[in-house]
Amino acid sequence: MKIQWYPGHMAKAKRKMKEDLPLCDVIVEVIDSRCPNSSRNPEIDQLAKDKIRILLFNKLDLADDERSKLFMEDFHRRGFFTLGIDARNRASVKRVSKLIQEASQPLYEKNRKKGISSQMVRAMVLGIPNVGKSTFINAFVGRSTAKTGNKPGVTRGNQWIKLDKNVQLLDTPGITWPKFEREIVGYNLALIGSINDDILPIEDLVFYFLKYLVRYYPKAILERYGIEPEEGEAALSIMDKIAVKRACIKKGGDVDYTRVSRLILDDFRSGRLGKISLEHPGKWSDEGDEDSAVE
């Protein structure tokens, strides 16, 4: 199943972002720790190739600790400054200011050689919808400056936010990209809520997710639902058992697949299923590899 989501306002936001890029020294990209590859807009690498790059691994508390560590090490080797955060936690977010200062040292040195004493840094904050970008900015600034919401596309316009005499942030709307080249990307973004829930059947999405859980996190199913997947057991069978356990049954005894799918998806997004990552560093593929449950 091919999943795409690129509303018209995103094309306009992308054009505005490209116009503002020359004004910025640092690019701070907020990504979802549960799927770092899928939640990075691949167009940013080309657009911001000459900028200082910072990757903030948000929702770190929801992701697999070991996989997150490997991802941050991998991106660091590729020239990114990386930091894991929980955007809802101000103590966690305070470390970002120090990182921006550290990452900007080459810029300060370059300015000193030109006789420029100012240490003002302008940082553009980017992120696809629903990765917690606006929540991060609000926690960073210490007041509710950027609009937040649990639906993709809440922030619609660029806005400058002055943190102190040395740092200005440019908040930008969350944008995806026109075409997901890999099927796994669409599934992952749908699971974390970065694309509109209404564009695909929730039952198909959760069926995919359950296959992934059986393969990589069977213990999560046992601990949350009291169901231990049997060897080779189909995801549909497990979904039926969860439905019975959680009383997601229609009149007449049929399974209410929409209701049980919503329950499972909400358990994942809220962290009630435990720390789960949808990716780990390795070869991208859509069929039967270590990153995907699609077969």
**pLDDT tens-digit map of 61-110:** 999 999 999 999 999 999 999 999 988 887 777 788 889 889 988 888 88
Domain boundaries, the chain: 8-171, 201-270
Q: Does domain 201-270 have CATH number 1.10.274.50?
A: no
Q: Among 10-14, 89-93, 121-125, 219-223, which range has the highest average pLDDT?
A: 219-223
- Percent of the chain predicted with pLDDT > 70: 85
Q: What percent of the chain has pLDDT over 90?
A: 46
Report the pLDDT averaged over residues 235-247: 96
Per-residue pLDDT at 143 exceeds 80: no
**Confidence class for position 190, pLDDT limits 50, 70, 90:** very high
pTM of the model: 0.86
Which residues are known binding-site members?
58-61, 130-135, 174
Is the model's pLDDT at 251 over the cut of 50? yes
Query: Which is more confidently placed, 126 or 199?
Result: 126
- Binding-site residues for GTP sit at 58-61, 130-135, 174
pLDDT in tens, 24-70: 889 999 999 999 999 998 888 888 888 999 999 999 999 999 999 99
Reported residue count of the chain is 295
Model pLDDT, residue 195 = 86
Pick the CATH number of 8-171 from 3.40.50.300, 2.102.10.10, 3.30.1330.100, 2.60.40.3080: 3.40.50.300
